[in-house]
């Protein structure tokens, strides 16, 4: 399944002082994939578009903090 979050596993040394973060995540936002925007792409209703920060569904890519997701968050 397509996602705008990509993962990799950094090298872990037995001599690293902090507990290791085993999987790191980074963002590849939708603008990297769409190319020149084709006409007539689906839109959000106006109120929803304001709340989401874009009129175009294809570009919507929300980001949450660890405090909001109750896990380790969204980025890393």
Please report whether residue 24 would count as binding other proteins according to CB under 8 A: no
The size of the interface with other proteins (CB under 8 A), counted in residues, is: 33
Please report whether residue 57 would count as binding other proteins according to CB under 8 A: no
Near other proteins by CB under 8 A, which window of 5-13, 14-22, 25-33? Answer: 25-33
Near other proteins by CB under 8 A, which window of 7-15, 16-24, 50-58? Answer: 50-58
Query: Which whole-number Å values give the CA distances from 10 to 4, 14, 15, 35, in the listed order?
Result: 19, 13, 14, 31
Indicate which single residue of 2, 13, 17, 47 sits in contact with other proteins (rule: CB under 8 A).
47
Query: Which whole-number Å values give the CA distances from 40 to 2, 31, 57, in the listed order?
Result: 22, 17, 11
If we measure between CA atoms, which residue out of 30, 25, 37, 21 comes closest to residue 52? 30
């Amino acid at each position: 399944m397509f996602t705008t979050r990509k993962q990799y596993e950094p090298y872990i040394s037995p001599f690293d002082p902090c507990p290791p973060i085993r999987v790191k995540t980074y963002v590849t936002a939708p603008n990297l994939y769409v190319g020149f925007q084709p006409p007539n792409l689906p839109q959000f209703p106006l109120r929803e578009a304001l709340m989401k920060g874009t009129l175009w569904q294809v570009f919507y890519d929300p980001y949450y903090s660890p405090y909001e997701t109750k896990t380790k968050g969204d980025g890393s």
